[in-house]
Amino acid sequence: MLIEDLIAKRLREAGVTRFFGIPGGPSIPYMEAFRRAGIEFVLTAHEASAAMMADVTARLTGVPGVCHATFGPGAVNLASGVGGALLDRSPLLALTTEMPDEWLGRTAQMNIDQQALFRPLTKATYRLSAGNAGEVMERALDLAGEEYPGPVHIGLPSDIAGRSARITHGSHSEAGSRVVLDGDSRSPDGSALNMTGGSPPAHVRKEESEHAAIRAGVLIASARRPLIAAGLTALRTGAGRALHEFLEKHGVPVIVTPMAKGVIPYDHPCYAGVLFHALSDRLDRLIREADLVIGLGYDPVEYNYESWLPQVPLVHFDTRPSDLRIKGAIEIVSGPDGWFRALAPLNGSSSMTELAAEARMSIREGIYREAPGLNPVRVLALLREALPSGATVTADVGSHLHLLGQMWDVQKGRLIMTNGWSSMGFGLPAAVAAAMAGTGGPVVCVTGDGGFMMHAGEMITARRLGLKITVIVFSDGELNLIKLKQSWKKVNPYGIQLYSGSLFGKGSFLGAAVIRVTDEAGMRNALARALNHPGTVIIDAAVDPAIYDGLTVRR
């Protein structure tokens, strides 16, 4: 079997139906092989967008995302989006064309060490050969889905297409063709402690794990004012239902990280709010009153414990070992079922749930306070009113994300963001991927003007594919979050002005209709028109950004 056919076959067997990217000449045999296997190629305007689309496709379908780029600049552009899959925890395969063996290390056009480029951005990086193709594809697909899910890079030498793959048996492949991966510190029974300096013998790891479990059990049973901090891993592993059932019996207040929004209902009596996002300082009293913090699938990539944790014990539950450096913290590694078995002796506190309710209401009242003009809060409130159940909202990075992450009710739809990687420009490529994935409801992209301009070329992708997306651009003409941070440092605004006048100078942009709004009535009308339009519509919302200053927390 030819190498390109083997790759296509393995991907199709894994459920892959499309891949994203910008091709080069050596890409052609792979594109054709993929097409024969039933895998569609989606041309994007930028390689970083391709990786973002692959990331979001994986989140929505559960199938590894696949993206592709050519030599040098194509690979470097792709790498920006691949980093998102690493820190936002999405299974992804990144394929790039590389120089043939005889040109490695030589001075040549577009030639860089792409294995070195992708090594810190992926779980592993491989260089494919005729001898290792089968093994690499199997290992890459397995590794991308292992906890935590993430990207794997595969370099495709430009001269290997058309060669026959030598299928090997067992674990041996030709010398130099395999990247040795670091193993984790998981013990034979699936438990683990955070360890550094090499792995001790298995019996030592098991004894330490058992000792940690006993210590955690004592803390859990004796806590009088516990607080749960639920994170990305809890949402991604589907622990929300078990958490909801647990709270019905135990009544423990819950705070969440931004990407864990929706792990329990927005109106649940135990829900307090979102860490790090708008008005999260109103959670401080609840946090200070805790005598035990329980991290439930809490991924520090979103917001490190050290940024908010009070001086109380921490029991951290996760699916894999972490790099915690908190004195006295106890780490328990297992699947979600194990988390809730260990938490069975936990007793809730009515005074803590009352504090959670106070924090929740204080945040809501603070966000929805009266403010003049067309401001970001009112735009998002009008959007929530207009959207039916099943909508998917993709959020770009910026001041508006701090509002959206705190105030958005995801019980009737999905909110897709980047918070581990936090790259501006994410919103529009994410919306394209969501529209292609066919989530069943409307797809809306909420972005600032700065983020929109970074990947505005994907409007052509949406147009070519005939996608229906409502793109809401918060147009304030500046990088507002940087402006806020400058003001906190007593620095006059500098280097943050994007443009003057209107962002869009006419009624369309790259083939999409543009509706400019300056007041609430116009916003209502624009939303109705956009949601009933058969194609992609841009709503250019001229917002007053002044409200951000009172809502964004200084961290």
Which of 152, 175, 31 is closest to 92 using CA atoms? 152
Per-residue model confidence (pLDDT) at position 174? 35
Kindly state the average pLDDT of the residues 504-531. Answer: 94
Rg of the chain over all Cα atoms, to the nearest angstrom: 25
CB atoms within 10 A of CB 160: 21
Distance between CA atoms of residues 478 and 483, nearest Å: 8
Distance between CA atoms of residues 4 and 164, nearest Å: 9
Provide φ and ψ at 238, rounded to 5°: 75, 30
Which of 221, 237, 70, 92 is closest to 153 using CA atoms? 92
For residue 462, which amino acid is it? A
DSSP 19-41: EEE---GGGHHHHHHHHHTT-EE
Query: What's the mean per-residue pLDDT of the chain?
Result: 90
Per-residue model confidence (pLDDT) at position 460? 97
**Reported CATH class of domain 3-157:** alpha beta
Per-residue model confidence (pLDDT) at position 208? 65
> Quick check: 111 pLDDT over 50?
yes
Distance between CA atoms of residues 150 and 323, nearest Å: 17
Kindly state the average pLDDT of the residues 249-258. Answer: 97
> Quick check: 124 pLDDT over 60?
yes
Predicted TM-score (pTM) of the model is: 0.91
Structural contact between residues 93 and 47, judged by C-beta atoms closer than 8 angstroms? no
42 or 551: which leads in pLDDT: 42
Angle at CA of residue 15, ends 55 and 36, nearest 5°: 105
Per-residue model confidence (pLDDT) at position 207? 53
How do beta strands 65-69 and 18-21 pair?
parallel
Q: Which segments of 387-501 does DSSP mark as H helices, in order? A: 399-407, 427-437, 449-454, 458-465, 480-488
The structure tokens 């915690």 sit at 324
> Quick check: 188 pLDDT over 50?
no
Where is average pLDDT lowest: 164-173, 251-260, 362-371, 419-428?
164-173
> Quick check: 182 pLDDT over 60?
no
Q: Which CATH superfamily hosts domain 202-365? A: TPP-binding domain (3.40.50.1220)
Distance between CA atoms of residues 10 and 141, nearest Å: 9
Where is average pLDDT lowest: 16-25, 148-157, 200-209?
200-209
Per-residue model confidence (pLDDT) at position 168? 60
Q: What is the pLDDT of residues 148-159, one digit of tens each?
A: 999 999 999 999
Domain boundaries, the chain: 3-157, 202-365, 370-551
Kindly state the average pLDDT of the residues 384-410. Answer: 93
Distance between CA atoms of residues 90 and 58, nearest Å: 6
454 contacts: CB under 8 Å, gap ≥ 6: 424, 425
How do beta strands 508-509 and 512-517 pair?
antiparallel
Fold (topology level) of 370-551: Rossmann fold (3.40.50)
Kindly state the average pLDDT of the residues 151-177. Answer: 73
> Quick check: 512 pLDDT over 60?
yes
Same fold, 3-157 and 202-365: yes
Structural contact between residues 474 and 498, judged by C-beta atoms closer than 8 angstroms? no
Q: What is the pLDDT of residues 283-328, one digit of tens each?
A: 999 999 999 999 999 999 999 999 999 999 999 999 999 999 999 9
Distance between CA atoms of residues 137 and 124, nearest Å: 12
Using a pLDDT cut of 90, give the percent of the chain over it. 79
Structural contact between residues 432 and 464, judged by C-beta atoms closer than 8 angstroms? no
> What tokens appear for 67 in the block?
């993206």
Backbone CA torsion sign across 41, 98, 125, 235: negative
Per-residue model confidence (pLDDT) at position 175? 31
The structure tokens 């919302």 sit at 541
> Quick check: 517 pLDDT over 50?
yes
> Quick check: 72 pLDDT over 50?
yes
The strand pairing partners of 229, in sequence order, are: 255, 295
Structural contact between residues 48 and 425, judged by C-beta atoms closer than 8 angstroms? yes
Which of 387, 386, 368 is closest to 378 using CA atoms? 368
Structural contact between residues 339 and 296, judged by C-beta atoms closer than 8 angstroms? yes
Distance between CA atoms of residues 68 and 30, nearest Å: 10
Per-residue model confidence (pLDDT) at position 346? 97
Provide φ and ψ at 324, rounded to 5°: -55, 140
Q: What is the pLDDT of residues 135-146, one digit of tens each?
A: 999 999 999 999
Q: What is the pLDDT of residues 40-67, one digit of tens each?
A: 999 999 999 999 999 999 999 999 999 9
Q: Report long-range pairs for 306-315 (Cβ below 8 Å, ≥24 apart).
A: 307/276, 307/555, 308/275, 313/219, 315/216, 315/219, 315/220
Which of 460, 462, 293 is closest to 394 using CA atoms? 462
Kindly state the average pLDDT of the residues 263-271. Answer: 94
Using a pLDDT cut of 70, give the percent of the chain over it. 92
Q: What is the pLDDT of residues 457-469, one digit of tens each?
A: 999 999 999 999 9
How do beta strands 330-333 and 413-416 pair?
unpaired
Where is average pLDDT lowest: 42-56, 334-348, 498-512?
498-512
> In three state form, how does the secondary structure of 119-148 look?
HHHCCEEEECCCCCHHHHHHHHHHHHHCCC
